[in-house]
Structure 1
Amino acid sequence: MGSPNQSSISEFLLLGLSRQPQQQQLLFLLFLTMYLATVLGNLLIVLAIGTDSRLHTPMYFFLSNLSFVDICFSSTTVPKVLANHMLGSQAISFSGCLTQLYFIFELTDMDNFLLAVMAYDRFVAICYPLHYTTKMTHQLCVLLVAGSWVVANLNALLHTLLMARLSFCADNVIPHFFCDVTPLLRLSCSDTHLNEVMILTEGALIMITPFVCILASYLRITCAVLRVPSPSGRWKAFSTCGSHLAVVSLFYGTIIAVYFNPVSSHSTEKDTAATVLYTVVTPMLNPCIYSLRNRDLKAALRKMVSRNIASYQ
């Protein structure tokens, strides 16, 4: 066993999603399509909100931040998958692997926090509509997002440093499409008990606390909506909540399945499928779920596109 502060391995090999050439071609096209859809859809949201003064409200401020995070989230893993396929290489350096791991932790936490903040924003808007502007001030919104970034960075730094102290002495093959914490812990020849304890305690607290806040917010929202006399008003509110809760369920369900179980109980195939859902599919769904049914945002998108077309004529 090597020194606890050094690794004898200078790079890892990412096996990707499949070793079959025909499946690799199909997966390359699928990942490329999903990545382009993710970047384009979320970038349009950011631009539309930034250029339309009518959308400079707390709800759209949080949505634009969520779209930005989703672009970064998808860009942390998918471009490396596409580049490896095009170059015919599976290698990623040890430092590159830790960097990728850091951003995965950071951006996962940010998605987690922003989903909770958006739920709180909807709770205030529905349960305290007369006090919404005084409660959800610009200063509070900025503080919530900035605080989320600080906590997410500190949490990511903690787990990355814990991973950096481990030794990797022999096997360097990662049966995954990016450097995730679970397969890395399996490869380590050091004692990973501290890493697992921190994931199941501090990591669980970081993930579960916003999730509980989301549930509490929607419980209060449901009680308030049930008191609305208009059936159409109740249906509209429940429909919006259903979309958000669908994303929350997908996001938290896959993360809990992958990270908050003992390493020995994990399956490579199940872990890979779950991580594809929350790292690739969920960011792509963000524009559809939060925007396509939003009349104000669709109007802002049409206005932005029309203005750009007119400028080229």
Structure 2
Amino acid sequence: MDFFNSALGKNITFLRPAYFIISGFIGIPNINYYYVFLFFVYVVSVLGNTAVMAVIYLDPKLRTPKYVAVFNLAFVDLVGSSALVPKVIDIFLFNHPSIPYSDCLTFMFFCYTCLWMQSFNLVALSYDRLIAIIFPLHYQVKVTHRLMFSLIAFFWVFVVIADLVMIGLITRLSFCESVVINSYFCDHGQMYRLACNDNTSSSVMAKLGPVITLWLPLVFVLLSYLSISYALTKIATVQKRMKAFKTCTAHLSLIAIYFIPVLITFTMSANIHPNARIINLSLTSVFPPMLNPIIYVLQTQEIKMSLKKILKIRKKSKIIVKTKMIK
């Protein structure tokens, strides 16, 4: 981050506090029950996403371009949950609200990286469904492992660079008054507003970030499904339309779970209590990682069959072991 500071001049000094104080959930009645709920959500998220990753890795039939994106989504959800929930529980339940300056920036980096990657991962899955339905005969040629790996790698590089720029701009701010962040994590929006020097660059980044990482992916997803809907009208029989549509149900569920709560929270944020807004935002952060693997296991036939196959193999191996032990 010294590059951002040296670009302004060697003699410029920024006032950086030793720590920030996270105060988002403090003062909310009966909030301890919510921490128990968060812990339950986290455990389900870890088990579910680990299971999805394991099934895709163990079954050669699932090593297709589509499941490369699904594996990446499970990985992002696992890392994002592990970066956020244990730290939130430690801050509020175990009363450790102060977080060192550098740790706060690291906390911010992982939270935003995973949040943005969830959005771009849905773009990759939308592209997969778009080609599968509109160009079914050319799907194997247009959607390859190389293309999917390249697309996901590009999204990772873009998100990491954008995150580093955002954090680099934070390091150019001076904090000479309050260090209390009224959020449940090191929220970029809350942090740059605490600065006592010019925060214009961070303000622009705060406005530009959601446009690039939320609204543009949402527009692409909506346009892709408009194209899919139009293509489905060209299919002659209702049975074939339903069969094609069923391949999109899991992805549509992921889109609804990710985008709808975020849109509702942001559009209604001016009309709801700050405490309610903080809880709503925290739920939008922890719910998708928990529900995504459940949706894919329940709604995707390939994963269900693969999971059953793996469980049967393990059951048979245990029976064989027991039989040998008895003999």
Please indicate the TM-score interval, normalised by the length of the shorter structure.
0.7 to 0.9
Which residue pairs with 2:224 in the alignment?
217
Question: Unaligned 5+ residue runs, structure 2?
Answer: 1-10, 322-327
**2:139 pairs with one of 132, 135, 157:** 132
Q: Deviations over 1:75-128 (max 9, x none)?
A: 121010222345332121111111111112211221111100100000111111
Which residue pairs with 2:195 in the alignment?
188
Which residue pairs with 2:22 in the alignment?
14
CA–CA distance in structure 2, aligned partners of residues 163 and 75 of structure 1: 24
**1:74 pairs with one of 71, 81, 87:** 81
Q: CA deviation at 1:141?
A: 1.1
Which residue pairs with 1:295 in the alignment?
301
Q: Is contact 1:204-1:260 (8 Å) kept?
A: no
Q: CA deviation at 1:56?
A: 1.1
Q: CA deviation at 1:289?
A: 2.3
CA–CA distance in structure 2, aligned partners of residues 42 and 173 of structure 1: 34
CA–CA distance in structure 2, aligned partners of residues 58 and 196 of structure 1: 38
Which residue pairs with 1:153 in the alignment?
160
Q: State how many pairs are aligned.
A: 309
Q: Deviations over 1:145-200 (max 9, x none)?
A: 11111101101101011112111222222222211112212322222222111232
SS at 2:299's partner residue? Answer: coil
Alignment of structure 1 residues 105-254 onto 2, 5 Å: 105-201=112-208, 203-238=210-245, 241=248, 243-254=250-261
SS at 1:187's partner residue? Answer: coil
CA–CA distance in structure 2, aligned partners of residues 125 and 115 of structure 1: 15
Question: Unaligned 5+ residue runs, structure 1?
Answer: none
Cα gap change, 1:216 to 1:8, in 2 (>3 Å): closer
Q: CA deviation at 1:58?
A: 1.3
Higher mean C-alpha deviation, range 30-39 or range 269-278: 269-278
CA–CA distance in structure 1, aligned partners of residues 208 and 258 of structure 2: 19
Larger Rg: 2
CA–CA distance in structure 1, aligned partners of residues 271 and 199 of structure 2: 15
SS at 1:292's partner residue? Answer: helix
SS at 1:87's partner residue? Answer: coil
Alignment of structure 1 residues 37-48 onto 2, 5 Å: 37-48=44-55
Q: Is contact 2:56-2:67 (8 Å) kept?
A: yes
Cα gap change, 1:311 to 1:246, in 2 (>3 Å): closer
Q: Deviations over 1:251-291 (max 9, x none)?
A: 33554577799x99996335413422331011111012233
Q: CA deviation at 1:134?
A: 0.7
CA–CA distance in structure 2, aligned partners of residues 82 and 308 of structure 1: 35
Q: CA deviation at 1:227?
A: 2.2
CA–CA distance in structure 1, aligned partners of residues 33 and 213 of structure 2: 36
Higher mean C-alpha deviation, range 266-275 or range 107-116: 266-275
SS at 1:97's partner residue? Answer: helix
RMSD: 2.8
Cα gap change, 1:295 to 1:245, in 2 (>3 Å): closer
**2:285 pairs with one of 272, 279, 288:** 279
1:63 aligns with 2:70: yes
Q: State the percentage of identical aligned residues.
A: 32
Q: Deviations over 1:221-259 (max 9, x none)?
A: 111112223324433544554553453244335545777
SS at 2:20's partner residue? Answer: strand
CA–CA distance in structure 1, aligned partners of residues 315 and 179 of structure 2: 51
SS at 2:193's partner residue? Answer: helix
Q: TM-score w.r.t. structure 2 length? A: 0.84
Q: TM-score w.r.t. structure 1 length? A: 0.88
Q: Is contact 1:7-1:167 (8 Å) kept?
A: yes
